[in-house]
Every structure is written in C-alpha cells, then in structure tokens.
Amino acid sequence: MSFRALVLTQGADRKVSGAIETLEDDRLPAGDVTVAVEYSTLNYKDGLVLTSGGGLVKSWPHVGGIDFAGTVERSDNPAFTPGDKVVLNGWRVGELHWGGYATKARVKGDWLVKLPSPLSTRHAMAIGTAGYTSMLCVMALRKHGVLPESGEVLVTGAAGGVGSIAVAILARLGYQVVAATGRPQEAAYLQSLGAATIIDRKELTEAPDRPLLSERYAGVVDTVSGVMLARALAQVKYGGAAAVCGLAGGPSFPGSILPFILRGVTMYGIDSVMLPKAPREEAWRHLGTELPLDRLDSTVTEAGLGELMALAPKILKGEIRGRVVIDVN
C-alpha cells in the first residue's frame, strides 16, 4: 500500500524544497485513524512551512498541510468507521505531524471532526482553518451580544481567506459588514460576499494616532493586528467587542488601554489550533447551516499538489484572494 505526498526538505540555507513522491504506508506517522485525503488547502501558516519552515517544523523530511478532508480508510478508534467523512484542522498537523498535502494521512481520531451535512469534503477545504477560524470569531461576537441590530461590524484583511469567509457569514446572519482591504480592486468581490461598505485599509492605518476615535463599530473581526487593530479598537462602540485571530500585519500592535477601561470594550483571542473538540464541533455545525455555500464557491481557486511551492510565497505577500483548495489526487 502506498500514497503520494509533497515531501518537503530543508537545505543548509533553511530554504525549503518540495517534490512529489510515492511512499509506502509504513512511512505514515503514528495514529489510530488513517484517512484517504481528498482535499487540502493553503493557509498563511502553510505558506510559512512551504517556504522556510517558519520555525514550525521540527523534523525533515516533512509533509505540510494544516487542514485536510477525506474518508476514513481504517480506524482503531471506536468513534470512527471506514467510510466516515471527516475534517481535520490544526492540532499542529502539518507542523509537528505530517499533514494533508498527501493522498493519505494518519492522525489521532480525537483530532478529527465528522463532517456535518450538507458539507462535502471540497466544501470543508474551501472553508478550511480560515473559515473555521472566522466562524469562531463570529461565535465570540454573538456570545458577547453583538447582534445585527447592534451596528456595523468591521472585518480587517477582508479579501484574505479568514476575512472573506467572515464577511460572507456575517452578511448571511444579517450584519452590516464593513470590509477593510488594501486591495480596492477586490471591492466587487467583497460586495458579492455581502459587504455593505468597503473601506481602504489606509482609513485605519492613517487614522489619527489617538487611543479613542469616534465610536463606529459594534464589533470587529481582526486578521491583521498592527496599527489596523489599534485604530479599530479606538472606534469600537461602548460595550462592543473585537475577536482577534491574525497577525498578517505583524504580531505587535500599538494599542491603548483606554477603549477597554473607558468604553468597556472586550477583546477575544481566537485560537483554532488547540481548541477542544466540543467548540470545534459547534463551529462546524454552524458552518453547515450558516455559511452561504454559493458565496463560498466564489472565494475558491483550485490547485494541485504540484502548484503549492509556487503559491506559498504569494499567500505570504497577501496576493491570494479568498481560499485555495488543493485537490491532492
């Protein structure tokens, strides 16, 4: 029994090279469930792994891909039987454990989520970690009490993977979505996802450097951090909230405590990687019912394993629109 995989190696200069190889099944890592992978996807973190390792990979050769969806082929875990459609996001798969850029993956069954209908394995990867993370952000805002009638919700990095799906979900739920992008040419795309207003990211980055600005947003989904997050927080309305998940603009942000202590603003940190199983399943249940699948399709570009090495630098430069689904077969 064998499988095909994009096998990564790291040179002395730390540069990563990739080649598609056929490997015997005994090369698969330890785990109690073997999955015939149908689709994977490309996330920002995958871009790091495919170009430099990003300090995320500890041993080489390596198979990347932090997400995959497929059909259970073999299971020693009572929760799964062959034929189950499953999705995997995170758990450091594709970093410390071989991931989804292969036709087979072997993982701990505890990491897998059964795919809710009506989602196909392709839908699951159109969603991927990006879409699942955007749902976690939306869940945090809703639990806080940010409702469609509360006012506008800002999404930063809106034309990216997390941002695009956050726009589509929020619009579907009836929110007035303000999409902040550095790519004004993507305005029509963002409107087609349901954004009510598009703003140039400069409106945030070039806003006055003050801890409090006029109150505008009931909620924020932030994928960028940096100055954008600081200026967004300064515009959150009294009692509002920001769900922060990304660092496309760098990990630090020049923020002030004032929005928190003078306007009662709350900031929710969103982690998709090590999140326990119950909230994961909750997020996937919501994705099965609250994500407009026709809009999701418009965010997708499809590619094969052989195109990943060329796509990786592009996602790091913010040049990818929406989601890239990888057909591994």
Closest CA to 218 of 160, 155, 271, 299: 155
Q: Minimal distance in Å, beta carbon 96 to ligand NDP?
A: 16
Q: Minimal distance in Å, beta carbon 159 to ligand NDP?
A: 3
Q: Residue 120's Cα: distance from chain center in Å? A: 18
Question: Is beta strand 300-304 parallel, antiparallel or unpaired with respect to 266-269?
Answer: unpaired
Amino acid at 292: P
Tokens of 56: 């995320």
Q: Minimal distance in Å, beta carbon 230 to ligand NDP?
A: 12
R_g over Cα of the chain: 20
CB 169 within 8 A of CB 291: yes
Closest CA to 101 of 308, 317, 319: 308
Q: Minimal distance in Å, beta carbon 14 to ligand NDP?
A: 20
**Comparison of 99 and 161: residue with beta carbon closer to ligand NDP:** 161
**Comparison of 160 and 240: residue with beta carbon closer to ligand NDP:** 160
**Comparison of 72 and 154: residue with beta carbon closer to ligand NDP:** 154
**Comparison of 63 and 227: residue with beta carbon closer to ligand NDP:** 227
Q: Minimal distance in Å, beta carbon 76 to ligand NDP?
A: 29
Q: Residue 237's Cα: distance from chain center in Å? A: 27
**Comparison of 91 and 175: residue with beta carbon closer to ligand NDP:** 91
Q: Minimal distance in Å, beta carbon 227 to ligand NDP?
A: 8
Residue nearest ligand NDP by beta-carbon distance = 160
Q: Minimal distance in Å, beta carbon 238 to ligand NDP?
A: 27
Helices (H), 104-160: 121-144
Interface residue list for ligand NDP (CB under 6 A): 43-45, 129-130, 133, 157-163, 181-183, 201, 223-224, 228, 245-249, 270-273, 315, 318, 320
Tokens of 44: 């920002």
Taking the C-alpha atoms of 178, 180, 183 and 184 in order, what is their torsion angle to the nearest 10 degrees? Answer: 40
**Comparison of 187 and 293: residue with beta carbon closer to ligand NDP:** 187
d(CA 89, CA 122): 14
**Comparison of 35 and 320: residue with beta carbon closer to ligand NDP:** 320
Q: Is the sign of the CA dihedral 78, 81, 86, 90 positive or negative?
A: positive
